[in-house]
Structure 1
Amino acid sequence: MSSSRTIPIRRIRWALLVIIAAGAAAFGTIAVVSAVALGQQSSAAVVTRIAGDPTLGADGSVPDGVTVFDGAVPAVANLDPDLLDALRRAATDAAADDVTFTVNSGWRSPEYQEQLLRDAVTEYGSTEEAARWVATPETSPHVQGAAIDIGPWDATAWLSENGAEYGLCQIYANESWHFELRPDAVAGGCPEMFADPTADPRMQR
């Protein structure tokens, strides 16, 4: 076959590849925009609820539907800025996979942490068993604004697989939802998890 016929065919193939790539990019953009739009709607609803009751969530309790972009919610606003930045970058990228990060818990006041600990003792029957799930106000990274509990399951799965790229690591094997910032993880991966908080030296104070 002569080159005069081959060149147009190659050009046609290249043009088709460009069109396919452009279509894929456009579809990805639409998916991200849709996810962001849904997040904005959720945020607007949360802001409206808080405006109606300024005390809502003041202790760190989290209203339904809160995302990492809801800066009006104390549980989000009082997080360590570097942790929050990493979470928002990860959440933005996760949106491309149709995954939304819901905040189940973030910053907590010492009083709220103490309440959660009392509730855990009642639920689990002993201080020792409760300590596997809830720390004291003096040791809890939540009180320090250094931890977040993420949901739902697809968000925790996404972070388990991709979180290290943002320095976000699951810390306890028994808490798939609990993540903290470990900047070194970006280069070296997340550290080995503790079985539960009782194995964490930080909890021994």
Structure 2
Amino acid sequence: MDFTAHGAVPRPVPVFDDTAPAVVNLDPALLGALRRAAADATCGFVVNGGWRSPQYQAHLFREAVAKYGSPAAAARWVATPGTSAHVAGAAVDVGPADARAWLAEHGAGYGLCQIYRNEPWHYELRPEAVERGCPPLYPDPSHDPRMRR
């Protein structure tokens, strides 16, 4: 099944792409911050993952369970549809490595924060970070209290 309409990103897309569902279905505030950061950056940004439908997120979780052997092990890398920030359009996976490095240094100024230590590509909008800096990283998604809904 082709999940592109459900948010799959078979090939990275520019953050300014206005046709890819993974980009255009992001929360408008997150997308705006991401585009402002990308316009100011000294390197190119691409989206490797963004908004996802619940169906596509469920597919990714099933794949992770098969790969890692259990739902608990999979939860270190992939959230369920009911807990994923991607399904809400509130998370974006950014590449390449130089863009991630730039965001790690400058992202807080745009409210863009890495959330999980094991996922340097995963960014979410934290508007308070502009004034206070990004919150401490969770080791992985399984430590995020939002994943226990």
TM range (shorter): over 0.9
- The structure, 1 or 2, with the larger RCO (C-alpha pairs under 8 Å, 6+ apart) is 2
The residue correspondences of 1:140-179 to structure 2 (distance < 5 A) are 140-179=84-123
TM-score (norm 2): 0.96
Tell me if 1:67 matches 2:11. no
Higher strand proportion (structure 1 or 2):
2
Distance 1:117 1:89, change over 3 A: same
Aligned-pair RMSD on alpha carbons?
1.1
- Residue 63 of structure 1 and its aligned partner are, at CA, apart by 3.6
- Residue 56 of structure 1 and its aligned partner are, at CA, apart by 7.0
Tell me if 1:76 matches 2:23. yes
Q: Runs of 4+ in structure 1 displaced over 3 angstroms?
A: none
Distance 2:128 2:80 in 1: 27
What percentage of aligned pairs have identical amino acids?
64
**Ranges in structure 1 where 5+ consecutive residues have no aligned partner:** 1-54
Distance 1:199 1:71 in 2: 34
Distance 1:61 1:199 in 2: 25
**Ranges in structure 2 where 5+ consecutive residues have no aligned partner:** none
TM-score (norm 1): 0.70
Match of 1:191 in 2: 135
- Residue 137 of structure 1 and its aligned partner are, at CA, apart by 0.2
Higher helix proportion (structure 1 or 2):
1
- Residue 65 of structure 1 and its aligned partner are, at CA, apart by 3.8
CA contact (8 A) 2:3 2:56 kept: no
Match of 1:130 in 2: 74
